[in-house]
Chain A
Amino acid sequence: MTDTNVSRPATGGASALSVEAAPRSAAPPVRGDRSRKRDTRDAVLFLAPYLVIFTVFVLAPLLYGIWVSLHDYDFTLPEAPWVGLENYTGLLTGDSPFAETFWQSVQATWLFTALTVPLLLVLPLLVALVLNQKFPGRNLFRALYFAPYVLGVAVVAVLWRYLLDTNIGLVNHYLGVIGLRDTVPWLTSLPWAWISLVGVTVWWTLGFNTVIYLAALQDISPELYEAARVDGANAVQRFRNVTLPGLRPVVLFITSVTIIASVNMFGQSYLMTAGGPGTETRTGIYEIAEVGLRQFNTGQAAAMSLIFTFFLMVVSLAVFYAFRDRDARR
């Protein structure tokens, strides 16, 4: 500890000296510093292409979006009058004709996220634990669980829309065959519409999270399990003290990716329920697409997007805080 604390200012001083005054060739102790400098230059060089893409496709549109949100912007009309923060205040105070449906869609989005994310964290882990065992046909099952994820959202949603149809769908038909209620309004009534949307989403994306868990499980050193076993830990204790800590970085990744995917849900409700019944299952992205792309109230939709982004950033920070590396301080 003390060693590094003392040596750091010393090198710092030397490097400052070397840049300003000392001729480079006559300063052998600085060589390490020079190579470090060249290192950062290489890094910048390698990162530059991404930075360009990031600037062009993320940063610039974001700034442009902020600018758009301050106008009554409609690209098909010759004038886009400046309205300041009116697009935001209208949504916050409820004066905007879109405020009611917007906040309802925000609520719907969080409801969907709150229902989906725990399922997509726990179920894939259980599946991965099973698929990590050695048994015949293991690869077939791995493929089967991953298969739905390969399908596009349109295929998944249209397929299930017909399967879940109240009056002509197969699901209700077979429920009737085994003697259960065969009039469940899967897509036109609450809470069934949410159950359908969450169920289909879990079925569809479970395989992706499973594969990531599986990779992480295979990454945990078998020696740790062996050591635990030698210490007399039973299966539950091994899971709690070896498996879970070993999975933590991956759980952070899966949690944030799943939250972001759930918050961005659009296709399932657009195609399966058309946002219905009423506008109950209309998500934030759905509402933004309707207002911005169909009605061309681009300024209003940009304000919605930024409010939405703000919420998403708060949640992401909360996730990172919850999973922060507590060992780092030690």
Chain B
Amino acid sequence: MTGISRRTDGAGLSRRGFLAAAGALGGAALAGCGSAEPQVATGPALQDEYTGEPVTLRYWHGFTGGDGPAMQALVDRFNESQDRITVEPNTIQWNQYYQRVIAAVHAGKGPDVGTLQIDQLANLAARQTINPLDEVVTQLGLQESEFPQEVWRNGVYRGSRYGVPLDVHSLASYGNRAVLQQAGLERQPRTGEELEEQTRALLAAGVETPFWMPNRWPAHLIFLSLLWQFGGEPYAEDGSRATFDSDAGVQALTWMRRQVDAGISPPDVAQDSQYVGFKNGQGAYTWDGIWQINDLQSTDLDWDIAPVPQVGDQPASWASSHHLVLFRQRDPDDDKLLAGKAFMRYLLEASSEWTAAGMIPALASARETPEFQESPQAALADAVPTLRFLPPVPGLGDVQVQTLEIAVSNAVLGREQPAAALSGAAARATEQMQANQQKFEV
């Protein structure tokens, strides 16, 4: 800089000097809004009540389904319960949520608090988007023993905790009772053999295609559940390798495709149509996330919910968890951090009300409450210890979209044999995971 300004001294502004000056000005303008990088800060210790200046908190979440109104009700109640903190919620589809929130935080326009899925927690931690919460957990007085073990453990990335679990949500089997009764069936199957018997009975009773097999979402969740049931692991725990092409994976995917070949599922089930079909009375079962509970409750379908049947050697089901997080800021503000922690505490205390979203509260005590015990998803409570989660590896979720999901889709559509589809995708996934490992080492 000094070199250039000396050159332009006295001789008016040369073109090069002008460009340099303009560049410097731009740089200064950027530097003007605090630090260029989001900063780690969790503020002073939280007292019983927030007593600071009145603040407005920006809260981002992705509850766009039947869970949306339940979150809005909790936020409204919080805003009415006190007059110093106003929470402004912003709902973004999960599909878009992460890329947006990462970009927003790095641009210095990020929200203060958020809810996100555990699969993305490590990713956002590695990308300097969320704050480590070890001290906050102590301030909130939370104990490991109050939460399902794996949910609690997966909130940690590189020795620091980044999220506080709000709930658990898993894959489940929905049954259309009216259709099941056509074949004289009283309850949903508990095992793979029972499912086979039931589908045979349903086909015999004239129910065409009782169990639709999707090729896209939630096909990969079905695949992961079955893979775990057959004793496999989709990825190495340390994030170095994809292992979903193991025998367990091939067994899982072969089973999925067999539903189509056996005429139990129609071929070529396009995006979302297995669920829309089920909602309109087609088919006896559909496997989907428990977040659909509220949506189904608003229809006049006669349905019930059960854990995913045990097709493999052990019970298992894909699950995820919504975690509460504090986003990093370029200019951390103590009042906002305190208010954010107060809001987190409020949401945790409201865990049992959160049942209304169709979720299973993460807090063990909330699962004892009548609110939960009387909810449809209480039928899944016993399955909580068999729920399985993806390992906390940054970037893994996005690798999975590009590899595993496409392999599952290709095999279910019959475009590729399960083994070939999986081994190709696993090789690509391993390459991308190793590239990610290098990238996040810094």
The interface of chain A, by Cβ under 8 A from chain B, is 72, 74-79, 97, 100-101, 161, 165-168, 183, 185-189, 274, 276-279, 290, 293-296
> What B residues does A161 contact at CB under 8 A?
270-271
Measured CA separation A179–B406 after assembly (Å): 34
Task: Kindly report which residue of chain B lies nearest to residue A79, judged by CB atoms.
Answer: B442
* Contact A165/B273 with A75-B106, A276-B215, A294-B398 known, Cβ cut-off 8 Å: yes
Asked if B268 and A188 make an inter-chain contact with CB atoms under 8 angstroms apart, the answer reads yes
A-B contact pairs, 5 of them (CB 8 A): A167-B269, A167-B277, A188-B215, A188-B270, A189-B413
Does A78 lie within 8 Å of B268, measured CB to CB?
Answer: no
Given contacts A78-B37, A278-B406, whether A185 and B267 have CB atoms under 8 Å apart is: yes
Contacts of A187 in B (CB 8 A): 270-271
Contact between A74 and B216, CB atoms less than 8 A apart:
no
> Are A165 and B270 in contact (CB-based, < 8 A)?
yes
Asked if B432 and A97 sit within 8 Å, CB to CB, the answer is yes
Give every chain B residue within 8 A of A166 (Cβ-Cβ).
266-270, 273
Number of residue pairs spanning A and B whose beta carbons lie under 8 angstroms apart: 96
Instruction: Kindly identify, within residues 273 to 320 of chain B, every residue whose CB is under 8 Å from any CB belonging to chain A.
Output: 273, 276-277, 280, 282
Known: A76-B102, A276-B409, A295-B398. A167 touches B270 (CB 8 A): yes
- A276 near B432 with CB under 8 A, answer no
> 8 Å CB contacts to A: which residues of B25-79?
37
Let me know if A189 and B268 touch, CB within 8 A. Answer: yes
Contact of B435 with A by CB under 8 A: yes
Do residues B216 and A168 form an inter-chain contact, with CB atoms below 8 A?
no
> Please, which residues of chain A bring their CB within 8 A of the CB of B273?
165-168
The answer to whether B423 has its CB under 8 Å from any CB of chain A is no
Chain B interface residues toward A at CB < 8 A: 37, 98-99, 102-103, 106, 127-129, 212, 215-216, 266-271, 273, 276-277, 280, 282, 395, 398-399, 401-402, 406, 409-410, 413, 415-416, 428, 431-432, 435, 439-440, 442
Closest beta carbon of chain B to A255's beta carbon, Å:
34
Q: With the chains together, A73 CA to B157 CA distance in Å? A: 23
The CA-CA distance from A165 to B216 in the complex, in Å, is: 14
Contact of B439 among A77, A165, A188, A274 (CB under 8 A): A77
Q: Judging by beta carbons under 8 Å apart, are B216 and A274 in contact?
A: yes
Q: Find out whether the CB atom of B266 lies under 8 angstroms from the CB atom of A167.
A: yes
CB–CB B268/A167 < 8 A:
yes
Nearest chain B CB to A90 CB, angstrom units? 10
Residue with the highest number of chain A CB atoms closer than 10 Å, among B103, B402, B432, B435? B402
Q: Which of A161, A189, A276 has the largest count of B CB atoms less than 10 A from its CB?
A: A276
In the complex, what residues of A have CB within 8 A of residue B98's CB? Answer: 294
Report the minimum CB–CB distance from B251 to chain A (whole Å): 22
- A77-B127, A166-B273, A185-B267 known; A276-B439 Cβ under 8 A: no
Report, nearest first, the 7 A-B pairs whose CB atoms are least far apart. A76-B127, A185-B268, A97-B431, A188-B268, A166-B268, A295-B398, A97-B432
Residue with the greatest number of chain B CB neighbours at <10 A, chosen from A97, A161, A187? A97
The distance from the CB of A284 to the nearest CB of chain B, in whole angstroms, is 15
- A100 and B431 CA atoms in complex are apart in Å by 12
The minimal Cβ–Cβ distance linking A171 to chain B, given in whole angstroms, is 12
Smallest CB–CB gap between B69 and chain A, Å? 22
Contact B106–A76 (Cβ < 8 Å): yes
A101 touches B402 (CB 8 A): yes
Chain A residues, Cβ within 8 Å of B409:
276-278
- Asked if B280 and A168 make an inter-chain contact with CB atoms under 8 angstroms apart, the answer reads yes
Q: How far is the CA of A101 from the CA of B415 in the complex (A)?
A: 17
Q: In whole angstroms, how far apart are the Cα atoms of A148 and B439 in the complex?
A: 45
Q: How far is the CA of A66 from the CA of B13 in the complex (A)?
A: 28
Q: Among the listed A76, A165, A279, which residue makes an inter-chain contact with B128, where contact means beta carbons less than 8 Å apart?
A: A76
Q: How far is the CB of A300 from chain B (nearest CB, A)?
A: 9
Interface centre among A75, A166, A187, A278 (most CB of B within 10 A): A278
Chain B residues, CB < 8 A from A290: 401-402
* A81 to B, closest residue via Cβ: B442
Query: How far apart are the CA atoms of A183 and B280 in the complex, in Å?
Result: 19
